[in-house]
Structure 1
Amino acid sequence: MGVQVFSIAQEQPSDWWEVEALYDLCFAPGREALSSYRLRDGVDKVAPLCLIARDRDGIVAAAIRYWPIMVGDHPALLLGPIAVHPTRQGEGLGGLLMHQSLEMTEGLGWPRVMLVGDYPYYSRFGFEKLTGVEMPPPTNPDRVLGIGDWEGIEGAVTKWPEAK
């Protein structure tokens, strides 16, 4: 079997349906009922960090998105969702999108990133459990993870103030 080639690019508005279909395939029904989705409602995603991977046939194989949020009085990014098509899992695409997008965050003026996820998986990218950072319920505090400059940052996670 030959080497699979993927192209990584910024998600474009025309990719929306394909990316949403990938998220629907990879996540349980009702994913949009999660508290993290309330933080995204009416807020523009951080477009330069929202990446997709397409295979050589042009099919979306993986996608990652980021959203601006507030933690107390401090801006931060909420990473997610990230998904890899079930037929492409284990090929390193999720890691590739994580590394490429995380490398860009600070240069774009975002010194901290958080997510809600499995510590054993995300710790390999440098994420640590955040204490004193409170996601809206129902969120397991052990799944609230961050990377970047979190020193002295505490408080409730709230919607970005420039929401439409």
Structure 2
Amino acid sequence: MATVLGSVRAFFAQSAFTTDEENPGDVVARERLLDRAMGEGRFRKSSEKLRRGRVPAEGLALVARDPDGHVIGTVRLWNVEAGVDASGNGVPALLLGPLAVDPDHEGKGIGAALMRAAITEAARRHHGAVLLVGDAPYYERFGFFADKAQHLVMPGPFERHRFLAMELKEGWLDGAVGVLVPAGRRLGRGVVRKAA
């Protein structure tokens, strides 16, 4: 019986993780995790055009850590303008991505926990909408749907059915039309130039 309990405790200890705000010391571990989980193709995505030369939205770069403090998951949100409204003004929004979990830790709810933390923090910071490119069956459970992004386009090749949006404030994207463009803070000196 003691062996079974020890095995159960070991399983739960291995699957434990916490979510936290990314800090400068996480950058190398985060890049290695993204390389492992997504490969070099991640730099050719349309989303990269919106992230290049920018830093994530304030307080919206999150990581998951194992009990030893190692980065095992990551998500970042970026300031963008989601086309324009009827008056021709840019519609402020966030672009989520990439969301990645270390392959050795998949299936433990880490991605879902990062998604919930990111959405909660974005709402707490009074953002109006979040957009992403991803698999609808996964992201619909968090409230992301293609119809909310139907009049918007990415700045390069993308699959329409994978372009999803979630309104944090009802009606935020009503009337928004056009191409997403980058917004927010630009990279400065002393900031790592490789943004993924």
Which TM-score applies when normalising by structure 1?
A: 0.94
Counterpart of 2:49 (choices 38, 42, 52) is 38
On the 8 A contact 2:78/2:184 being kept in 1, the answer is: no
Give 1:29's match in structure 2, choosing from 35, 40, 46: 40
Classify the secondary structure of the residue corresponding to 2:55: coil
Greater strand fraction, Structure 1 or Structure 2: 1
2:132 pairs, out of 115, 121, 143, with 115
2:102 corresponds in structure 1 to 85
Preserved contact between residue 39 and residue 158 of structure 1 (Cα < 8 Å): yes
Q: 1:7·1:53 contact (CA, 8 Å) conserved in 2?
A: yes
Give the deviation of 1:5 after TM superposition. Answer: 2.2
**Corresponding pairs, count:** 164
Name the residue aligned to 1:61: 72
- Distance of aligned partners of 1:79 and 1:155 in 2 relative to their CA distance in 1, 3 Å threshold: same
After TM superposition, where is structure 1 displaced by more than 3 Å over at least 4 residues in a row? 161-164
Consecutive unaligned residues of structure 2, counting only runs of 5 or more, are 1-7, 84-89, 188-196
- Asked if 1:160 is matched to 2:160, the reply is no
Does the alignment pair 1:133 with 2:187? Answer: no
Separation in 1, partners of 2:115, 2:175 = 25
2:93, 2:128 within 8 Å by CA — same for their partners in 1? yes
Are 1:19 and 2:42 matched, yes or no? no
Alpha-carbon displacement from aligned partner over 1:47-100 (angstroms, at most 9, x marks no partner): 412111111122211111111111121111000001011111111010001011
Distance in 1 between the 2:109 and 2:179 partners? 33
1:45 deviates by: 0.5
Identity rate of aligned residues, in percent?
A: 36
> How far off is 1:163 after superposition?
3.5
Name the aligned partner's letter for residue 123 of structure 2.
E
TM-score (norm 2): 0.79
The structure whose Rg is larger is 2
Q: Give the drift of 1:7.
A: 2.2
Q: What is the CA-CA distance between 1:161 and the residue it aligns to?
A: 6.1
3-state SS in 1 of match to 2:36: helix
**What is the alpha-carbon root mean square deviation over aligned residues?**
1.4
Cα separation, 2, equivalents of 1:20 and 1:154: 33
Deviation string, structure 1 residues 9-51 (Cα, Å, up to 9, x no partner): 1001110010111111000323112111111111111141211
* Aligned partners of 1:11 and 1:47 also within 8 Å: no
Tell me which residue corresponds to 2:166: 147
The answer (yes or no) to whether the contact 2:134–2:162 under 8 Å persists in 1 is yes
Q: Secondary structure at the match of 1:46?
A: coil
